[in-house]
Chain A
Amino acid sequence: MPPMANAAVIRVAGLGKSYETAAGLFPALKGVDLDVRPGEFIAIMGPSGSGKSTFMNLLGCLDTPTVGDYFLAGENVAQMDKDALALLRNRTLGFVFQGFNLLPRMTLQDNVALPLVYAGVDRETRQQRARELLAKVGLGQYAESLPSRISGGQQQRVAIARALVNRPRLILADEPTGNLDSHTSEEIMRLFEELNGEGITIVLVTHEPDIAAHCKRQVRFLDGQIVSDHLTVVDGGDA
């Protein structure tokens, strides 16, 4: 079971989400309970349609639940308005997507600095912080390049730098290695492990057991519910 040292970063209780469809109300998520403590590194797994994407959208404050409570860093998100959700996404969360989602017309440095623009940080600080983080993910020399000039693995590193730029409490990664080959995937996962080692909490969606094996805890979804939740068994040489 998860360590009980600090107050939970995420506390989810009875969380449910239903969608209106032609066939009637479709329950994508049916009463999920989950606590995530600071410093955890969790893999969310499950087949498509299991509700894990819906769950991630709710965790990411991109959507609001139909029922239940979601406490993010102690605040109940369930009833917040759109601006308050935007503020939470900006200050408390960092997103890493499968498709990298960098803005193609901006330099890597500007891409990394973009969340700081919405946070109202001054230009000097934005640039300095963006350069620091690009250096941290090993791409300091590409600060002035456009995303199209670098490889997919490098783009994902830039995306991770962007997710980190506002010093978030939590990183949400949605299939971050889905578009990468296995070698590059390994590199990205090692970067995540490194960040987790520095104390950053990470929740990562994946359907690949290899990837999930890098995480400390594995939560499995099926039919809108959590069916298993256990710490990763350390076997052989795989960390």
Chain B
Amino acid sequence: MIHPMLGEAWLAMGANRLRTALTMLGMVIGVGAVVIMMAIGQGAQYAVQQTISTMGSNLFIVLSGSFTTAGVRSGSAGAPTLNVADGEAIAELDGVANVAPTHQGTRQLVYGSQNWSSQVIGTTPEYLDARAWNIVNGAGFGDSDVRSATRVAIIGKTVAENLFGDDDPIGKTMRIQQNPFIVIGVLGSKGQNLDGRDQDDTVIIPLSTAQRKVFGTPFLGSVRMIMVQADSAEGMPRVMESVSSLLRQRHRLRDGMPDDFFMRNLSAAAESEAETTRTMSILLGAIASISLLVGGIGIMNIMLVSVTERTREIGIRMAIGARQRDILSQFLLEAVMISFAGCLLGLLLGLGIALAVNALTGMVIVVSGSSALIAFAVAAGVGIFFGWYPAQKAARLDPIEALRYQ
């Protein structure tokens, strides 16, 4: 039953090619717009996700507290309230994947006749695990390097390029604060973080070496910052809760006394960024679907005209035995075919424009199978929804009236 009807729908579409093409154009533009907008929106989401994943997931930092001297308050991490033992205690908690006490600052690096200012991070080997950072050349340092405060350094890609140029940095000696450090590893590239800072412009050295030789510290064993990684995103709030109560207990803070440390959820900022782009892409999709709606109304309009024009044909069909549902499905099929063909062309158009945008501007574009599938489902839905009323109108014609129609 469906097979001959497909052929007939095809004939009917071909009978008025320009009109069919213009009706389809509405769907082409609608679906094209949705595809482009979704590609751009998902591209933005993907870009943010990429940036977030370079930062490391499920991270938060604990900073040592501030102090006040003669009314002048230091910022966070001003008071030496955190120490390495705190970090070791945190590592024992449930749901904690990695703990890395860090001490960082900006220092001038010197190699041969070159010099370069960069961020120096003194930390433990867990830091690289927490931030999911690979070493692409050479090796990292171990716990023994931290214990014995060896002067070894792992450098980021930007540092390697600026300081060593084409030389292989591995085994070379550079100076930080007059102290010679042997470069033992080069980090893989992470690019910019969400603030736009170059994450590759970094030198990582053992925490003990940093405190003794580079930054100096008022109390040996104290740290400014401890980076903590939770097992899972869901576990984050619970882990932060237990770290807080652990530190209050260790620092002997009674109820009512303020914390002598700060905690910041690094992932939260990233999550909100991701949320923003998600909202943006939904908004873009919503705006684009308005044009899909307009396309659908175009189909309805043309189908109504078509039903009126073909009243006599409908009468003939009814006279020779077409039931109401035969007429209904005939016109519905026609609407769905126009919608589908328009959708297919719109998909190609949208894809083409998305690729062109990508090629011309370098903007990240993501076209997923699911967005194509959604577009098709929507097209079928639009065809049926906007084709229903005209088809119903055709099916309910009185055969005698319809046969008399000129």
Within A88-142, the residues touching B (CB, 8 Å) are 89-91, 95, 97, 101, 103, 105-106, 114-115, 117-120, 123
User: Which interface class (under 10, 10 to 19, 20 to 34, 35 or more) fits B?
Assistant: 20 to 34
Q: List chain A residues, Cβ under 8 A from B319.
A: 60, 62, 89, 95, 97, 101
Q: Which residue of chain B is the closest to A114 with respect to CB atoms?
A: B320
Q: List chain A residues, Cβ under 8 A from B15.
A: 105
A162-B320 CB under 8 A given contacts A103-B313, A105-B12, A123-B4: yes
User: Which interface class (under 10, 10 to 19, 20 to 34, 35 or more) fits A?
Assistant: 20 to 34
A101 to B3, CA, bound (A): 24
Contact between B323 and A83, CB atoms less than 8 A apart: yes
Type the 1/0 row for B290-314, where 1 means its CB is closer than 8 Å to any CB of A. 0000000000000000000000110
CB of B321 within 8 Å of the partner chain: yes
A97-B403 CB under 8 A given contacts A105-B15, A106-B11, A123-B3: yes
Within B193-222, the residues touching A (CB, 8 Å) are none
Q: List chain A residues, Cβ under 8 A from B8.
A: 106
CB of B317 within 8 Å of the partner chain: yes
CB of A191 within 8 Å of the partner chain: no
A63 to B8, CA, bound (A): 27
Secondary structure call for the B interface: helix
CB of B316 within 8 Å of the partner chain: yes
CB of A87 within 8 Å of the partner chain: yes
Tell me the minimal C-beta distance from B222 to chain A in angstroms. Answer: 88
Q: Which residue of chain A is the closest to B325 with respect to CB atoms?
A: A83
A114-B317 CB under 8 A given contacts A57-B400, A87-B323: yes
Contact between B322 and A101, CB atoms less than 8 A apart: no
CB of A86 within 8 Å of the partner chain: yes
A95 to B321, CA, bound (A): 10
Contact between B316 and A89, CB atoms less than 8 A apart: no
Q: List chain B residues, Cβ under 8 A from A190.
A: none
A101-B316 CB under 8 A given contacts A62-B400, A91-B321, A118-B326: yes
CB of B318 within 8 Å of the partner chain: yes
A103 to B15, CA, bound (A): 12
CB of B399 within 8 Å of the partner chain: yes
A91 to B320, CA, bound (A): 9
Q: List chain A residues, Cβ under 8 A from B316.
A: 101, 103
A83-B324 CB under 8 A given contacts A57-B400, A117-B4: yes
CB of A82 within 8 Å of the partner chain: yes
Q: Which residue of chain A is the closest to B313 with respect to CB atoms?
A: A103
A115-B312 CB under 8 A given contacts A62-B400, A105-B12, A105-B15: no
Q: List chain A residues, Cβ under 8 A from B4.
A: 117, 123
Contact between B322 and A118, CB atoms less than 8 A apart: yes
Q: List chain A residues, Cβ under 8 A from B326.
A: 86, 118
Tell me the minimal C-beta distance from B276 to chain A in angstroms. Answer: 54
Contact between A95 and B320, CB atoms less than 8 A apart: yes
Contact between A118 and B320, CB atoms less than 8 A apart: yes
A101 to B313, CA, bound (A): 8
A82-B11 CB under 8 A given contacts A62-B399, A123-B3: no
A77 to B12, CA, bound (A): 34
Tell me the minimal C-beta distance from B207 to chain A in angstroms. Answer: 82
A114 to B320, CA, bound (A): 8
A13 to B8, CA, bound (A): 41
CB of B1 within 8 Å of the partner chain: yes
Q: List chain A residues, Cβ under 8 A from B324.
A: 82-83, 86
Tell me the minimal C-beta distance from B59 to chain A in angstroms. Answer: 67
Given B313, B323, B403, which contacts A86 in the complex, CB threshold below 8 Å?
A: B323
Residues of B within 8 A of A (CB): 1, 3-5, 8, 11-12, 15, 312-313, 316-326, 399-400, 403
Task: Sample 10 A-B pairs with CB under 8 A, ordered by A number.
Answer: A62-B319, A87-B323, A90-B320, A90-B321, A101-B403, A115-B321, A117-B1, A118-B317, A118-B322, A123-B4
Residues of A within 8 A of B (CB): 57, 60, 62-63, 82-83, 86-87, 89-91, 95, 97, 101, 103, 105-106, 114-115, 117-120, 123, 162, 166
Known: A83-B323, A106-B11, A117-B5. 14 other contacts (CB 8 A): A63-B400, A87-B321, A90-B321, A95-B320, A97-B319, A101-B316, A101-B319, A103-B313, A103-B316, A105-B12, A115-B321, A118-B320, A118-B323, A120-B1
